[in-house]
Structure 1
Amino acid sequence: MAYAVHHRTEAVDGLEVFYREAGNSQAPVVLLLHGFPTSSHMFRNLIPALSDRYRLIAPDHIGFGQSAMPSLDEFPYTFEALTEITSGLLDRLGVDRFAMYVQDYGAPIGWQLALQDPQRITAIITQSGNAYTDGFVKPFWDGLFAYAKAPGPETEGPVRGALTAEVTRWQYVNGVADQSLVSPDNWVHDQALLDRPGNNEIQLKLFRDYPTNVDLYPDVHQYFRDSQVPLLAVWGANDEIFGPDGAHAFRRDLPKAEIHLIESGHFALESHLETITQQIRGFLSRAIT
């Protein structure tokens, strides 16, 4: 039986955090962490598909979706700060242990949660949620790293292109054989939120902070080796942001990782919801029973 999806807010450190929630409150928790440039909206179909067996919690990061969007003067907009808000939300909701589904920006937030307290993490599902330099596809990342290293007018121009409607749409349809499976509501919704006054400066700040996530990769790899946490990678084989080499790389430190490449792109849930749902249900039944 699928549970109704609730749309809620919780105050964390004085900021309103929006989250979607469904499932039995006593069921094992799966935390869903979205990427750029989207929000928990990306999980709107997955949540009911898993809610018969799990408690799903999908927050919008600060500056994204329906969560608060304080100015740069009011919030630091680092991945560490986003992690602290997520951790605070889990504490407010009484969540001690959880599996997590990480995608794009959700991955570094998830890795930091794991490094803070490895015992909290029961299993990991990663869908274009990168943890290895192998996953960075050129030339997509060249501009961001150049901008983060030397912010200025010359390097800022190219990365501002990532905030345009054209690139937002591209992230959804690139690598998808049948693009008619992907609803245009996705990029229209995301772009409307990106276009809010002041949001572009927030995204640029996070771009500048992104290399701090790469600096943590050695610690993340050590966490994988020490914990041998169960991990499922369901990854778009045609993703030109985080390529499939990033999925295969998990087996370096987690030899039992389950790797499944899907004929899709960066937002594979939009074209392959049923396939990914089946993979997750099988994986979690083995990993956290």
Structure 2
Amino acid sequence: MTDSKPVVQHRTTTINGVKVFYREAGDPAAPAVVLLHGFPASSHMFRNLIPELADRYHVIAPDHIGYGFSDAPPVDEFEYSFENLTTITLALIDQLGLQNFALYIQDYGAPIGLRIASRNPDRVTALLVQSGNAYMEGFTPFWDILFAHAKDRPANEAAVREYLTAEKTHWQYTHGVPADRLDRIAPDTWTLDQALMDRPGNKEIQLQMFWDYQFNLPGYPDFQEYFRKHQPPTLITWGKNDEIFGAAGARAYERDLPDAEIHLLDAGHFALESHGPEIAGLIRDFLGRVIV
């Protein structure tokens, strides 16, 4: 008996002198979908979604530099910034020959993906947004210490380091998840994230990225102008109980994208873990309608 499910391939390539790991599945001739993960995750967060899309789409899910199985050079040997990670991500997309593509953006993937989209509007066929901020309304008290750290790193570093602990990583996956869905959260999620974050020098990478996040905010007007001018087809699947990027951040998209399809799920920050089949179904239906 032949298994007809798409095969997910695990590949590595070199971009600007660093090795980038990515997962790939589907027919390269099919419409492309690029999945961009957030902190403290990797393309592992899309391990279940990729096969659900790859029968129709060419799916690419990279690990950002410093995350997952991509290179993680020390902070004094590599410029860790959202701008630089954007450059590498777009270079990977170009190297793979993706002329047009939909973007799935979550958490850190949002400022990276929205830089790409706003600068290359004719190449982006759709936006798939999960807890990916583009408006100030999305910020919760979770960010208070991070923004304090951006203003004064030495005074706030000890407090920010608490966000890099195993307890906080576990919390990121479990907060806001209904009790009857907690058993859907695979322990390999927070265990893998923490193991990779505990590598020598990696916490310094995360602190640098925390500090650099402040430079995403001045780009929000550009992202919003892109929304208004180009009206990219947009599907939003967001955990309504997310205490990192609040549900107000999802609703804010309506201001500039009145036709956006918004689904606030009974989930937390990593909604794919507790609501993966529902999100996959919404994406398949949406892309089937908007990508010709």
Q: TM-score, normalised by structure 1?
A: 0.98
- 2:40 corresponds in structure 1 to 37
Query: Does the aligned pair in 2 maintain the 1:5–1:22 contact within 8 Å?
Result: yes
On the 8 A contact 1:32/1:58 being kept in 2, the answer is yes
Question: Structure 1 stretches of 5 or more lacking a match?
Answer: none
Per-residue Cα deviation, 1:198-243 (whole angstroms, up to 9, x for no partner):
0011010011110111110011100000000000100001000001
The CA RMSD measured in Å over matched residues stands at 0.7
State how many pairs are aligned. 287
C-alpha separation in 2, matches of 1:135 and 1:200: 25
Partner AA of 2:86 in structure 1: T
Query: Does 1:56 find its partner at 2:59?
Result: yes
Q: What SS does the aligned partner of 2:263 have?
A: strand
1:55-83: CA deviation from partner (whole Å, max 9, x where unpaired): 10000000000000111122110000000
| Cα distance per residue 1:178-203 (max 9 Å; x no partner) | 31110111100000000000001101
In the alignment, which residue of structure 1 is the partner of 2:9?
Answer: 6
1:150 aligned residue (146, 149, 152): 152
2:70 to 67, 71, 96: 67
TM-superposition CA deviations, 1:100-139 (whole Å, max 9, x none):
100000000001101221111110000001111101111x
Identify the residue that residue 105 of structure 2 maps to in structure 1. Answer: 102
Asked if structure 2 preserves the Cα contact closer than 8 Å seen for 1:105 and 1:129, the reply is: yes
Query: Pick from 184, 191, 206: which aligns with 1:188?
Result: 191
Distance 2:223 2:266 in 1: 28
CA distance in 2, matches of 1:13, 1:185: 31
The C-alpha deviation readout for 1:23-64, integer Å capped at 9, x for no partner, is 011000000000000000000000001111001000000000
> Structure 1 residue aligned with 2:224, among 201, 205, 221?
221
Q: Distance in 1 between matches of 2:188 and 2:66?
A: 20
1:86 equivalent to 2:84? Answer: no
Residue 150 (structure 1) shift: 1.2
Question: 1:263-289 deviations in whole A, cap 9, x for unaligned?
Answer: 010001111111000110111111112
The answer as to whether partners of 1:102 and 1:110 remain within 8 angstroms in 2 is yes
State the AA in 2 paired with 1:144.
Answer: L
Residues 2, 50 of structure 1: 8 Å contact kept: no
Q: Provide the identity percentage.
A: 59
Per-residue CA distance 1:235-262 (angstroms, 9 max, x = gap):
0010000011100100100000000011
1:118-157 equivalences under 5 Å are 118-138=121-141, 140-152=142-154, 154-157=155-158
Find runs of 4+ consecutive structure 1 residues off by over 2 angstroms. Answer: none
For 1:56 and 1:242, how far apart are their aligned partners in 2? 26
For 1:200-215, list aligned pairs within 5 A: 200-215=203-218
State the alpha-carbon separation in 1 of the partners of residues 195 and 156 from structure 2: 25
Give the 3-state SS of the residue equivalent to 2:159 in structure 1. Answer: helix
State whether residues 230 and 287 of structure 1, in contact with CA within 8 Å, keep that contact through their aligned partners in structure 2. yes
Measured in 2, the distance between the counterparts of 1:110 and 1:2 equals 28
